[in-house]
């Protein structure tokens, strides 16, 4: 495929992607995280039930399945349960506002009980369904049928089946019967030892609205804060009775028919055994029939209880038969053994007395057969596992986000992103002109494709994710800058436009790949090791970096390549490449000792600040509770403190803050860790005293375990990031290049720590994540410089290492500053417009980028120089140069010769005479391997120094003589 065709193909491909992305954006909804839409996030730690045991991954996966089932009953839209770390799991409940109740329902282990069915039926139910195989009394049957008719349920096949078993048509009828029963005081064997309340609609057929609840007031507000009718009928079910539902069985499939409304029973609450008494429930196959069954074992007590209850059921069946019965007759007469999970009958097999006249000995476990299909067997096995959950779930963090504040955060994030993008585009247009336009088009394509991917995957968009997204705008722009600077260099070197574009991409791509790989590696490490919120940040950053490679490299190359012969690109001025361009002639290595001193002083200040002021760690690390309440009545911090003290919440820090949505009467309260119940109490008290604005309450509680875990994961992420980054640099460059990178990273980390200590800004898990990512990203600059050093080393075989580094720095400094500036624009936008949480991220990024840029230029490169200059080869070069230059080593090697070498790709360079450069001494000092001899080391072009003319002429003469000698040697076949 020709170049032109290839460019056309790429352009069409990206255009197609943009169109498809547009369709995806228009048709799919964005999945928002809790921090953007409001809701409740709970983090649980799995703990073993017995000492000495550990929590396995299987236990956590099983718990996730259990909790998902429980959440489904809360009626929450799009809940999310995910594993977090080794033995934690996180539960996200959008829209939930009652943290206490939700936490109670999610964290409680499912209630699994086994009942001897018939004897536990009550009243009319027992009369109709309590005697298997016998015709029920007519009066009882008609009465039951009457209730079904009154409820408006048609008596079709499924209803007949339920009526035959003695079921009521709805919960209301069953609750009425249950409420008439005498309470069992201090019941030790009941599944629930407290009365429960149910709320029904006032109008017939009295549809169930809510229940069971232990507190009557909980009936009127849903966990998501939805108000329920106050005029409903409340029925109290006393201790000793439970309401259970059962779906009819589909005769053809053998499955429960869950599309049909269930029947309801009021049962005596006398379970034969509970879920804690069974072990290892699993789906298996009956060896003789190969039918799916569920088998399980028993604990010691469970085995005895199971054996007793099945014997009783078998004996009762036997007694109801008039004489000996075959298996088929016995099937009709046998009693049932019911498996009830969370008040719902999951299975009700018979105990066939003909097959098991003495019941079933639980020694070899038991199995439930007669299941419809494999799915049902698997589902039942899971159900049974629920009751026998092998771990305890401990709530270690709870975060409740107000929908209004979440929406505000989303608005702020989008605004910051758009402004950041606009600033970067303006910068690119002003600085790179036509190339800037190309880059802006690429950024537009990047934005569309990336946003479509966010919707398509889908990536749950969180606040940290938005921060990652904005950062990737900088990353995408950086890739363009690296290439554009290369193209400009090639154009200035006299290449044709098409040749310059081709060479610019060819040479720039390795730098971009190196820099992006490091960013990707850091993002990957963060994703694997970090906590939930940070994972979103890392994932967005990772995906964004990959997309940016497509749009910023492949797409722009095709776009520019296809236009390279057009009129627009005839003039170098269009690319901003007219004139010689900015060439730095600063003696970077010579001046590095002063920059070292500056860093040393900053770090000393940071060291003393850390020793005296320490770091202001947020509740993520220190544990505690933070509440934000927007109050209706005006009060002050003392008023809030007193209100909280009145309900026993003392020692809290109260701070009045302002919020764009809620005004100035907003208070942020930070205290020791409060239980969900205590948060609720605080909320109620503030509401009763001052009134809380609708959606104006948020809270976050972090336990010490979670705080420790956040700190551990941050440390692990840091160590792994350092190792991986150094490993990569060592492999791609030279092992010696990795050490300066490591030192520069330490420098950045400590300067940032010092800045945080001095400013007293809070350090949260997000801060650490943002900073770790910036470490990866800030190495971008180091890699750009090192890449050029690597390229220049073979091109300058006689130059001192300091000269190579000075040359490299002068060539890439503009590029390095431009990349940092474009990223700073995006980050500054976050800092100014991003809202409180994003500002935390942005501050860490800002410090990281500033420190990273500085350290890559003034720390990493000088350290590398000082170290490499000790190598025997470079020592010899320095001595040789010093000998020629009268004991001095110039800051720059000869420029004319360098340009010639660069063009001709000649591998043998001329001696480093540096005829027009300031001379420096080859003195031994740790870093400043070159020193200026004049006092004009201010970055100005040293060639303007008129004092050096006479010396230069002499050097030029010496060089010419040397070249002549070399030419003569070549002529005679010697090198």
Partner 1 sequence: MALVVFFIMGIALWHFTVFVPDRFWQGIVGAFLGAVLGSIIFGLIVQEASGKSLGDTDVSTALIAVPGVLIGLAIVYAIGIRSERQLD
Indicate whether 622 belongs to the interface with partner 1 (CB under 8 A): no
d(CA 740, CA 726): 9
Helical axes 463-492 vs 556-563, angle rounded to 10°: 30
Q: 433 or 736, CB closer to partner 1?
A: 736
Q: 213 or 622, CB closer to partner 1?
A: 622
Indicate whether 857 belongs to the interface with partner 1 (CB under 8 A): no
Indicate whether 608 belongs to the interface with partner 1 (CB under 8 A): yes
Sign of the C-alpha dihedral, residues 660, 661, 667, 668? negative
How many CB atoms are located within 10 Å of the residue 521 CB? 18
Indicate whether 393 belongs to the interface with partner 1 (CB under 8 A): no
- Which residues sit opposite 45 in a β-bridge? 88, 394
Q: Which of 614, 634, 759, 938 binds partner 1 (CB under 8 A)?
A: 614
SS3 (DSSP) at 702: strand
Indicate whether 597 belongs to the interface with partner 1 (CB under 8 A): yes
State the nearest-atom distance from the C-beta of 704 to partner 1, in Å.
15
Q: 434 or 746, CB closer to partner 1?
A: 746
Give the helix/strand (H/E) hosting 128: helix 123-129
Q: By CB under 8 A, which span of 84-92, 144-152, 459-467, 742-750 interacts with partner 1?
A: 742-750
Indicate whether 872 belongs to the interface with partner 1 (CB under 8 A): no
Alpha helices in 834-972 (DSSP H): 835-855, 861-868, 872-884, 895-904, 949-971
SS3 (DSSP) at 588: helix
Q: 4 or 870, CB closer to partner 1?
A: 870
Indicate whether 600 belongs to the interface with partner 1 (CB under 8 A): yes
d(CA 895, CA 371): 87
d(CA 405, CA 402): 5
* Subset of residues 504 to 563 that bind partner 1, contact rule: CB under 8 A: none
Helical axes 463-492 vs 801-833, angle rounded to 10°: 140
Indicate whether 743 belongs to the interface with partner 1 (CB under 8 A): yes
Give the helix/strand (H/E) hosting 748: helix 735-759
Q: Which of 205, 867, 943, 966 binds partner 1 (CB under 8 A)?
A: 867
Indicate whether 214 belongs to the interface with partner 1 (CB under 8 A): no
Q: How far are the Cα atoms of 15, 93, 459, 470, 540 from residue 455, in angstroms, in the given order? A: 19, 20, 6, 17, 12
Contact 237, 198 (CB under 8 A): yes
Q: Which of 606, 624, 696, 703 binds partner 1 (CB under 8 A)?
A: 606
Q: 285 or 594, CB closer to partner 1?
A: 594
Q: How many CA atoms lie within 13 A of 83 on its CB side?
A: 15
State the nearest-atom distance from the C-beta of 735 to partner 1, in Å.
12
Q: By CB under 8 A, which span of 124-132, 339-347, 823-831, 865-873 interacts with partner 1?
A: 865-873
d(CA 513, CA 511): 5
Q: 9 or 594, CB closer to partner 1?
A: 594
* Subset of residues 887 to 926 that bind partner 1, contact rule: CB under 8 A: 924-926
Q: Which of 232, 754, 766, 918 binds partner 1 (CB under 8 A)?
A: 754
Q: Which of 321, 610, 758, 875 binds partner 1 (CB under 8 A)?
A: 610
Could you tell me how many residues of this chain bind partner 1 (CB under 8 A)?
Answer: 33
Q: 423 or 742, CB closer to partner 1?
A: 742
Q: 219 or 800, CB closer to partner 1?
A: 800
Indicate whether 750 belongs to the interface with partner 1 (CB under 8 A): yes
Indicate whether 611 belongs to the interface with partner 1 (CB under 8 A): yes
Q: 84 or 763, CB closer to partner 1?
A: 763
Indicate whether 866 belongs to the interface with partner 1 (CB under 8 A): yes
State the nearest-atom distance from the C-beta of 875 to partner 1, in Å.
11
State the nearest-atom distance from the C-beta of 708 to partner 1, in Å.
14
Contact 662, 630 (CB under 8 A): yes
Binding flags for partner 1, 683-722, as an x/- string (CB under 8 A)? ----------------------------------------
d(CA 7, CA 207): 66
d(CA 194, CA 196): 6
d(CA 455, CA 118): 53
State the nearest-atom distance from the C-beta of 493 to partner 1, in Å.
35
State the nearest-atom distance from the C-beta of 867 to partner 1, in Å.
5
State the nearest-atom distance from the C-beta of 606 to partner 1, in Å.
6
Contact 533, 765 (CB under 8 A): yes
Q: 690 or 737, CB closer to partner 1?
A: 737
Q: 461 or 741, CB closer to partner 1?
A: 741
Q: Which of 6, 119, 746, 951 binds partner 1 (CB under 8 A)?
A: 746
Indicate whether 932 belongs to the interface with partner 1 (CB under 8 A): no
State the nearest-atom distance from the C-beta of 940 to partner 1, in Å.
23
Instruction: Give the residue carrying structure tokens 């909320």.
Output: 683
Question: Quick one: which of 517, 954, 589 has its CA closest to 776?
Answer: 517
State the nearest-atom distance from the C-beta of 923 to partner 1, in Å.
8
d(CA 29, CA 459): 11
Indicate whether 928 belongs to the interface with partner 1 (CB under 8 A): yes
Instruction: Give the residue carrying structure tokens 């209803």.
Output: 159
Q: 6 or 593, CB closer to partner 1?
A: 593
Q: Which of 260, 711, 739, 793 binds partner 1 (CB under 8 A)?
A: 739
Q: How far are the Cα atoms of 40, 127, 129 from residue 166, in angstroms, in the given order? A: 41, 8, 4
Contact 738, 726 (CB under 8 A): yes
d(CA 275, CA 295): 14
State the nearest-atom distance from the C-beta of 921 to partner 1, in Å.
13
SS3 (DSSP) at 190: coil
Instruction: Give the residue carrying structure tokens 């209100």.
Output: 643
Indicate whether 12 belongs to the interface with partner 1 (CB under 8 A): no
Q: Which of 612, 935, 965, 971 binds partner 1 (CB under 8 A)?
A: 612
State the nearest-atom distance from the C-beta of 881 to partner 1, in Å.
17
State the nearest-atom distance from the C-beta of 614 to partner 1, in Å.
6
Indicate whether 753 belongs to the interface with partner 1 (CB under 8 A): yes
Q: By CB under 8 A, which span of 600-608, 829-837, 938-946, 962-970 interacts with partner 1?
A: 600-608
Angle at 152 between CA 206 and CA 244, to 5 degrees: 55
Q: Which of 110, 193, 260, 603 binds partner 1 (CB under 8 A)?
A: 603
d(CA 539, CA 27): 23
Q: By CB under 8 A, which span of 63-71, 226-234, 361-369, 862-870 interacts with partner 1?
A: 862-870
Distance between the two ends of the chain, CA-based, in angstroms?
Answer: 45
Contact 749, 866 (CB under 8 A): no
Residue 946 phi, psi (nearest 5)? -65, -25
- Which residues sit opposite 692 in a β-bridge? 631
Q: 102 or 928, CB closer to partner 1?
A: 928
How many CB atoms are located within 10 Å of the residue 15 CB? 12
Q: 82 or 924, CB closer to partner 1?
A: 924
User: 316: alpha, beta or left, given left = phi > 0 and alpha = psi -120 to 50?
Assistant: alpha
SS3 (DSSP) at 82: strand
Q: Which segments of 430-569 are extended strands (E)?
A: none
Q: By CB under 8 A, which span of 49-57, 155-163, 204-212, 608-616 interacts with partner 1?
A: 608-616
Residues in contact with partner 1 by the rule CB under 8 A: 592-593, 596-597, 599-601, 603-604, 606-608, 610-612, 614-615, 739, 743, 746-747, 750, 753-754, 863, 866-867, 870, 924-928
């Amino acid at each position: 495929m020709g170049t032109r065709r290839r460019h056309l193909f790429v352009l069409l491909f990206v255009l197609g992607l943009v169109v498809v992305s547009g369709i995806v954006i228009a048709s799919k909804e964005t999945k928002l995280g809790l921090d953007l839409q409001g809701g409740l996030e709970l983090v649980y730690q799995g703990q073993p039930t017995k000492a000495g045991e550990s929590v396995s991954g299987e236990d956590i996966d099983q718990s996730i399945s259990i909790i998902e089932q429980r959440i489904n009953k809360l009626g929450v839209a799009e809940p999310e349960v995910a594993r977090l770390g080794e033995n934690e799991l996180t539960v996200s409940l959008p829209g939930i506002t009652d943290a206490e109740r939700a936490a109670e329902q999610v964290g409680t282990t499912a209630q699994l009980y086994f009942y001897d069915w018939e004897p536990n039926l009550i009243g009319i139910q027992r009369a109709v369904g309590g005697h298997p195989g016998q015709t029920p009394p007519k009066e009882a049957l008609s009465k039951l049928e009457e209730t079904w008719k009154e409820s408006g349920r048609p008596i079709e096949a499924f209803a007949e089946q339920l009526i035959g078993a003695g079921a009521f048509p709805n919960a209301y009828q069953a609750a009425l019967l249950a409420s008439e029963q005498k309470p069992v005081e201090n019941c030790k064997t009941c599944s629930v030892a407290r009365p429960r309340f149910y709320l029904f609609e006032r109008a017939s057929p009295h549809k169930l609205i809510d229940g069971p609840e232990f507190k009557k007031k909980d009936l009127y507000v849903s966990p998501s804060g939805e108000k329920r009718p106050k005029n409903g009928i409340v029925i109290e079910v006393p201790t000793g009775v439970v309401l259970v539902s059962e779906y009819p069985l589909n005769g053809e499939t053998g499955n429960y028919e869950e599309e049909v409304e269930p029947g309801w029973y009021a049962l005596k609450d006398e379970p034969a055994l509970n879920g804690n008494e069974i072990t290892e429930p699993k789906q298996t196959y009956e060896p003789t029939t190969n039918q799916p069954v569920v088998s399980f074992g028993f604990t010691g007590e469970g085995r005895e209880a199971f054996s007793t209850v099945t014997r009783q059921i078998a004996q009762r069946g036997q007694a109801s038969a008039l004489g000996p019965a075959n298996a088929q007759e016995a099937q009709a007469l046998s009693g049932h053994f019911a498996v009830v999970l969370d008040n719902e009958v999951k299975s009700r097999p018979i105990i066939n007395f003909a097959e098991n006249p003495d019941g079933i000995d639980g020694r070899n476990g038991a199995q439930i057969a007669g299941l419809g299909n494999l799915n049902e067997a698997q589902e039942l096995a899971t159900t049974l596992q629920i009751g026998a959950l092998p771990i305890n779930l401990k709530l270690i963090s709870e975060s409740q986000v107000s929908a209004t504040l979440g929406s505000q955060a989303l608005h702020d994030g989008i605004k910051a992103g758009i402004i950041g993008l606009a600033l970067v585009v303006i910068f690119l247009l002003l600085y790179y002109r036509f190339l800037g336009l190309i880059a802006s088009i690429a950024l537009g394509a990047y934005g569309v494709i990336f946003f479509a991917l966010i919707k398509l995957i889908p990536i749950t968009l969180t606040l940290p994710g938005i921060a990652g997204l904005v950062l990737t705008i900088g990353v995408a722009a950086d890739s363009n800058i690296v290439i554009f600077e290369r193209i400009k260099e090639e154009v200035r070197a006299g290449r044709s436009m098409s040749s310059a574009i081709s060479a610019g991409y060819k040479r720039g791509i390795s730098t971009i790949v190196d820099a992006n790989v490091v960013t990707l590696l850091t993002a990957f490490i963060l994703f694997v090791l970090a906590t939930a919120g940070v994972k979103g940040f890392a994932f967005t950053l990772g995906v964004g970096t990959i997309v940016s490679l497509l749009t910023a490299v492949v797409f722009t190359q095709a776009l520019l390549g296809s236009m390279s012969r057009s009129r627009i690109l005839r003039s170098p001025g269009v690319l901003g490449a007219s004139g010689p361009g900015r060439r730095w002639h600063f003696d970077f290595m010579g001046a590095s000792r002063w920059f070292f001193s500056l860093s040393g002083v900053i770090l000393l200040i940071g060291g003393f600040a850390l020793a005296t002021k320490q770091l202001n760690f947020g509740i993520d690390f220190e544990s505690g509770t933070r509440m934000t309440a927007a109050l209706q009545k005006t009060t002050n911090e003392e008023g809030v403190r007193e209100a909280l003290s009145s309900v026993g919440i003392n020692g809290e820090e109260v701070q009045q803050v302002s919020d764009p949505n809620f005004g100035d009467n907003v208070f942020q309260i930070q205290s020791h860790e409060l239980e969900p119940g205590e948060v609720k109490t605080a909320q109620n008290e503030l509401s009763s005293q001052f009134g809380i604005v609708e959606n104006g309450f948020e809270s976050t509680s972090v336990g010490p375990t979670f705080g420790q875990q956040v700190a551990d994961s941050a440390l692990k992420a840091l160590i792994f990031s350092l190792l991986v980054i150094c490993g990569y640099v060592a492999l791609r460059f030279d092992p010696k290049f990795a050490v300066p990178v490591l030192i520069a990273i330490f420098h950045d980390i400590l300067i940032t720590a010092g800045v945080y200590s001095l400013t007293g800004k809070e350090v949260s898990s997000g801060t650490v994540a943002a900073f770790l990512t910036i470490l990866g990203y800030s190495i971008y600059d180091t890699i750009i410089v090192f890449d050029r050093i690597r390229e220049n080393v073979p091109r300058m075989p006689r130059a001192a290492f300091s000269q190579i580094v000075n040359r490299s720095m002068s060539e890439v400094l503009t590029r390095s500053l431009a990349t940092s500036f474009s990223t700073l624009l995006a980050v500054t936008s976050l800092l100014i417009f991003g809202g409180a949480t994003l500002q935390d991220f942005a501050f860490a990024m800002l410090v990281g980028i500033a420190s990273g840029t500085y350290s890559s230029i003034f720390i990493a490169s000088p350290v590398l120089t000082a170290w490499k200059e000790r190598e025997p080869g470079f020592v010899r070069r320095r001595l040789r140069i010093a000998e020629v230059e009268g004991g001095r080593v110039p800051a720059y090697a000869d420029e004319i010769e360098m340009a010639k070498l660069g063009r001709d790709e000649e591998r043998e360079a001329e001696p480093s005479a540096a005829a027009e450069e300031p001379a420096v001494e080859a003195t031994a000092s740790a870093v400043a391997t070159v020193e200026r001899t004049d006092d004009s080391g201010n970055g100005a072009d040293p060639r303007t120094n008129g004092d050096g003319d006479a010396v230069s002429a002499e050097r030029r003469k010496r060089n010419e003589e040397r070249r002549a000698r070399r030419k003569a040697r070549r002529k005679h076949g010697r090198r």
